[in-house]
Amino acid sequence: MPETLPGAAASSLLDSLPDTVVAADGEGRIVYVNPAVTALLGHDPADVLGLPLTAIMPARFHSGHGAHITRFLTTGEGELVGNITQLPALHANGHEVSIDVTLGRVDLPDLGAAVVAVLRDASTTILLERQLQVSRYLAATLRVTTALTEAPNADVAFEHLLPNLCAELDWDCATLWQPDDAAQRLVYGGIFAVPGVDVAALHAAKQTLTFHRGQGLPGVTWRRQTPQSIEDLQSAPPAYGAAAARSAGFRTGVAFPVLRGDELLGVCELFTRQPRPVPPELLEVLGNAGRQIGQFLGRLRAESEMRELADTLQRSLLPATLPTVPGLDLAAQYRPGGSALVGGDTYDVVPLPDGRWMVLIADVCGTGAEAAAVTALTRHTARAAAAGSGDPAEVLAAVHAALLHEQAGGPLRFVTAACLVLEPGPGTVLGRLSIAGHPRPLLRRGEGWEEVGVVHPPLGVGDDARFESVPLVLSPGTSLVLYTDGVTEARDSAGVQLGEAGLIGLLSRPGADAADRIAETIASAVAARVAGSRYEADDLAVLAITVPSR
């Protein structure tokens, strides 16, 4: 039953309330409004008395308003009854004000049944809600970017992008558009939907679509380089190309560009089946997220390209395959170090004009492009010198002279190396060995391993360096291992190096006999030793030579 309020007492009480109270008769005309309306909507109370309620409402709410009031007064029922509803009201100066509205029904003296509405400024609530939503989106986009850091390259990161956007930003579906190779149009890159949302039809429809700059929601986003939204896909203009999403049952869509500077890496679309407001603050957050993601993906892409270039360069510093040497079995292993894109370790096996073979293993000080240049100089100089001389000491002397000439006035780039010239035969293999600052090779005769050779100063250090070679005899059944210090200096978590004794102990275990087994045993043992270690692994190169038993 409606309440009956005494006129004078009610007016005095309502006039003192901070909330705006408006009463309207059965025809929807304002019969009372308290002074709080001035602060909320800028009207003097006397100016609105007798006006229809629609005078304080935006024009789009005028149609049918009288019928709603009549139904409410007759039945006491209505969409706003018993609820606090957020609606726009019209300020005296013409702009809209968001208000919280609560409706009631009362009996007024001499007027009968009337509508009473309590209006409260909702801007503070809306601001707090938006700030909360923005903070949620900021946290969500941070989690998206953090999740992408686990991707090894940009392609994988793009694959992870859509699931993370849906999960973290709470949208039902996400699609990705990427520029083609000529950057002339956007092509479909994929789709992801949360469980329970069927996007098979949308996926099929989008596979045939492309967008030029300014065409469709993705193309408009590309042209403007700012997030774009369609809060009601059902009424979206044809230029936004929303037919596929609309037919799939989605109601709200938003798109944002993934940018690296001014370069577009992609456009992400987000869709939801429930209508959702898209305030400017959300678009700003998505715009910033797109740039952050773009910077990260751009860095990943650049790193991936750099790694590909480094891999190509590294392969050029190593033989593609080991040659077949009569009377010998050869095997090699190479593993790059921790963060280095291009390492300084190398090995080579080269035939000489007189039927002998040069075997070289070297370790250049440092990593990167400069070390790669020194590595290339070392290999090519050694090859040229071996073809003319065939004595390993003279080969190292030639490399030493080339390094001194190359780095004159520049930074010191020394090289350690072991050079071996072998003369294969039907049984015993004869050779000579020269070493410059490098770990001595390990030779197995029978059941025991021993270090062989004499170590001279590293290459590229000192004008008066001299190198000598020593004879080496490899009988049937013997094995020789040349390696770089990345093997013996490999540290476990406690910082303990493998060392020469540890390497000999490793090779003394049963089973490490054939050349390929020897090389693999060493490389695998080093990998296991440095796995999880806080010490960065160095490059390693291993070259194993065995003389088969008769």
Residues 202-207 have a mean pLDDT of 89
Would the pLDDT of 241 be above 70? yes
Distances (CA, A) of 529 to 121, 214, 492, 522: 68, 56, 5, 11
Calculate the CA dihedral of residues 380, 384, 390, 396 and round it to 10 degrees.
-50
56-70, 230-244, 500-514: segment of lowest average pLDDT: 56-70
- Choose from 62-66, 363-367, 442-446, 472-476 the range with maximum mean pLDDT: 472-476
Residues 363-383 have a mean pLDDT of 80
Residues 292-299 have a mean pLDDT of 80
End-to-end CA gap in the chain: 114
Which pLDDT does position 66 carry in this prediction?
Answer: 46
Q: CA-CA distance, 395 to 388, in Å (whole number)?
A: 9
Count CB neighbours of 270 within 10 A.
25
Q: CA-CA distance, 399 to 279, in Å (whole number)?
A: 69
Count CB neighbours of 528 within 10 A.
11
**Contact assessment for residue 436 and residue 456, using Cβ atoms and an 8 Å cutoff:** yes
Which pLDDT does position 396 carry in this prediction?
Answer: 94
Maximum CA extent, the chain: 128
Domains of the chain plus CATH, in order, are 3-121 (3.30.450.20), 128-308 (3.30.450.40), 319-546 (3.60.40.10)
Three-state DSSP at 321 gives coil
Which pLDDT does position 5 carry in this prediction?
Answer: 45
CB burial of residue 104 (10 Å; 0-12, 13-18, 19+): middle
- Choose from 334-338, 415-419, 536-540 the range with maximum mean pLDDT: 415-419
Residues 418-447 have a mean pLDDT of 91
Which pLDDT does position 6 carry in this prediction?
Answer: 46
Would the pLDDT of 34 be above 80? yes
> Could you tell me which residue, 386 or 77, shows the higher pLDDT?
386
Count CB neighbours of 2 within 10 A.
15
Q: CA-CA distance, 295 to 232, in Å (whole number)?
A: 31
Residues 157-177 have a mean pLDDT of 82
Which pLDDT does position 464 carry in this prediction?
Answer: 81
Q: What phi and psi, each to the nearest 5 degrees, are found at residue 504?
A: -65, -40
Distances (CA, A) of 486 to 194, 443, 508, 539: 48, 19, 20, 5
Which pLDDT does position 226 carry in this prediction?
Answer: 94
DSSP class of residue 239 equals: G
> Could you tell me which residue, 311 or 507, shows the higher pLDDT?
507
DSSP class of residue 433 equals: E
Which pLDDT does position 85 carry in this prediction?
Answer: 76
Which pLDDT does position 407 carry in this prediction?
Answer: 73
17-26, 277-286, 311-320, 518-527: segment of lowest average pLDDT: 311-320
**Contact assessment for residue 543 and residue 483, using Cβ atoms and an 8 Å cutoff:** yes
CB burial of residue 549 (10 Å; 0-12, 13-18, 19+): exposed
**pLDDT band at 433; cut points 50, 70, 90:** very high
**Contact assessment for residue 158 and residue 239, using Cβ atoms and an 8 Å cutoff:** no
CA atoms within 13 A of residue 223's CA, in its CB half-sphere: 11
Q: CA-CA distance, 270 to 162, in Å (whole number)?
A: 9
Q: CA-CA distance, 298 to 233, in Å (whole number)?
A: 32
| Count of residues making up the chain | 550
Three-state DSSP at 429 gives strand
Token representation of residue 93:
């100066």
Which pLDDT does position 160 carry in this prediction?
Answer: 78
Secondary structure percentages of the chain, helix, strand, coil, to 5: 40, 30, 35
**Contact assessment for residue 504 and residue 449, using Cβ atoms and an 8 Å cutoff:** yes
Q: CA-CA distance, 334 to 311, in Å (whole number)?
A: 12
Write down the mean pLDDT value for the chain: 82
**pLDDT band at 26; cut points 50, 70, 90:** confident
**pLDDT band at 369; cut points 50, 70, 90:** low
- Choose from 70-79, 217-226, 288-297 the range with maximum mean pLDDT: 217-226
Beta strand 479-483 with 442-445: parallel, antiparallel or unpaired? antiparallel
Report pLDDT digits (tens) over 466-516: 999 999 999 998 999 999 998 999 999 888 999 999 999 999 887 767 899
E strands along 426-524, which residues?
429-436, 442-445, 448-451, 455-456, 470-474, 479-483
E strands along 194-326, which residues?
210-211, 228-230, 252-260, 263-272
